[in-house]
A and B are shown apart, each in its own frame.
Chain A
Amino acid sequence: MIKAVMPVTLALLATTSQAFAQGPLHVDITDGTASPLLIAIPEVASGVIPGVANGEDAGEALARIVRADMSSTGLYRLVSIDGRYSGSEEVAFAPFARAGAQALVLGRARPSGNDALAYDCVLYDVFGARIETSQRILVSKAQWRRAAHKCADMVFAFTTGDQGHFDTRLLVIGQAGSAPGQGTSLLSMDFDGENRTSLTEERELVAMPRFGPGSRRIIYTSFTGPGPKLVLDDLDSGESRTLDLPKGVPSAPRFSPDGASVIFSLARDGEADIHVIDLSSGAVRQLTSNAGADTSPSYSPDGTSIAFESDRSGEPQVYVMASDGSGQKRISFGAGAHGSPTWSPRGDLIAFTKIENRTLRIGVMKPDGSRERIITEGGRDEDPAWAISGRAIAFQRTAGGEALPAVWITDLTGKLARQVKVGSSVGEPAWSGKRP
């Protein structure tokens, strides 16, 4: 795989990328609400590049992807100017300034050798008439869409100070039957639904997939054989391994932030408790031993705390404990039940599924349980999965009257919830970290 490299030859691309969010091009975000940055992303024609963009003008196709990525976050408002923009021209800032744009993103695409695509992505401060940051992105032609996602990641990171979540993968459960569970497969795809690949045979019932740190190791629950098992796949080597666990029914696996262990719930004789397995030694440690069902564990990004769901109070609620199982404390006290807690990669919020009046919706709260906010409005929204940026959440939505679910992505205000277009039913999303 060809990695993105910093510019070495073009004087234009003198790098300033080390400075994160110092200048005026900074998006301030509170509770997911921001005053959007006005940004222009003109389509810079490159001509057709064989093997890229299915025969469309590559530069224009890439710019459209960058636009879609940026506007999906709710943190930017697209500004356009009349007329076409040619990549060979000197940058004239005046028309963009007149149109109100604060930021300008220009991407110039050209072939690099036979198999690669070079995409020079530059972020300008329109009023200062200067380059804020730039990157020369090299990808194989087959992965041409990644060039646009990497460009969007660069702009997002500079203007928010957080990692971008565009050059990432989703792991979802595909549903091939007319009802859930009839023909499931594990699918992997870009965060915008493109480049889908199937990782398991259809008809093998699989559930609750999760990425390890990065995007190359995954774990999921498989129902082949007499009881469910936890399967860990290495997507690079193709190696698949079933975790050797104590007797019981395991579920809800999730990697620790360092990837060295997997935390999960193990049910036995009607009691479910949180356990953790060290992946190198295979040692299993039990972290909770309460009566009732303790499940859905999720580490804080620093690995010191674990959020989980327990019905020890009578109905499911979210608890937090130290990573050794000590100091178990209930944090959710809003109306209804709370489940599927998931700790944001930024550490500032825990997403959850709220169960109230037989509806399921997605919400977020602070790790101490305060400032609970419900952000989705479907009747059956569940399985929240954070983007690595901590600025978006993927979830499963089953629309009213539908048997099969779809995967949606929302910003933290809930105003920009949109379906990931796949063309078939998918659910139970997991969202990868940064791709190599």
Chain B
Amino acid sequence: MNASERRWQDLHIRSCLCASTLLALSVLLASCQRPVQPLRPPPSFDMQGPTPAPLKVREDEAQSRLLRDHETPATVEDFERYAGTTRVLFARDSAELDAAARAILDRHAQWLNLYPEVRASLQGHADEFGSREHQFALGEKRAAAMKFYLTAQGVAAERLVPTSFGKEHPARTGGDEISQNQNRRGETVLIGLPASARERGE
């Protein structure tokens, strides 16, 4: 086991201890029982969306992750590279995190746990198939679900700012199901970084 792997194992244990105080028992057991698999490539999840495009993890990038050290600066680019995607998707009119969404948020949590000074805005969005006001509330519910999950993975609640855009800022505008599927989303957007100019709406 190289140094980097040991560091990941430490982190993993620490996050479990931390999480145990949060009564998120099922999540906790699942993550503690899982054999330590440092730095798998991110789960492949076809987003079909142009912004951000699904990031292809090339071999050399995966390799560079393994070689990252404490000196890697906390940047939006590094977060995106590490997480694979900043976006999770939801089912229609639902704020439940499915397995794919949880796997993505696991990586968000891992990265955030590496950089405790970084804060994140959790931005819930909704599709067009509802009233403007209801979709706004639904976006907040999705952001709240992301926050609950990330805190269960050891990210301090104060670092996470849930918010909603409702259907005001769709990723896709087609009225078809495939387009609207992309709008039922939550995004983890880093805030408080010098390099965080790449927030939504740039």
Contacts and interface: CB of A to CB of B under 8 A. Distances in A.
Contacts of A205: 165, 168-169, 201
Interface in A287-307: 293, 295-296
Contacts of B166: 207, 251
A180 B173 contact: yes
A189 interface: no
Interface of A: 179-182, 184, 203, 205, 207-208, 223, 226-228, 249, 251-252, 265, 267-272, 293, 295-296, 309, 311, 315-316, 337, 339-340, 353, 355, 358, 360, 379-380, 382-383, 398, 400-401, 403-404, 428
A180 B134 CA distance: 18
B95 A270 contact: yes
Nearest to B125: A181
A403 to B, nearest CB: 4
A76 to B, nearest CB: 33
B71 to A, nearest CB: 29
A316 B165 CA distance: 19
B132 interface: yes
Given A270-B95, A380-B175, A293 B137 contact: yes
Nearest to A315: B93
A311 B165 contact: no
Of A207, A271, A404, most buried by chain B (CB within 10 Å of CB) is A207
A223 B121 CA distance: 13
B45 to A, nearest CB: 23
Interface in B55-85: none
Nearest to A204: B201
15 contacts: A181-B169, A184-B168, A205-B165, A205-B201, A207-B132, A227-B163, A249-B140, A249-B163, A265-B137, A267-B144, A293-B138, A296-B131, A355-B130, A379-B175, A398-B175
Interface string B139-169: 0110111000000000000000111111111
B175 A428 contact: no
A159 to B, nearest CB: 35
A207 B166 CA distance: 10
Of A309, A358, A379, A380, most buried by chain B (CB within 10 Å of CB) is A358
A126 B197 CA distance: 68
A339 B130 contact: yes
Contacts of A272: 137, 140-141
Nearest to B167: A180
A269 to B, nearest CB: 5
Contacts of A398: 128, 175
Contact of B132 (A181, A228, A249, A382): A382
Contacts of A207: 132, 166, 168
A143 to B, nearest CB: 32
Interface string B74-105: 00000000000000000001010000000000
A267 B121 contact: no
Contacts of B161: 226-227
Contacts of B131: 296, 309, 316, 337, 339-340, 353, 355, 360, 382
B134 A295 contact: yes
Contact of A311 (B121, B134, B168): B134
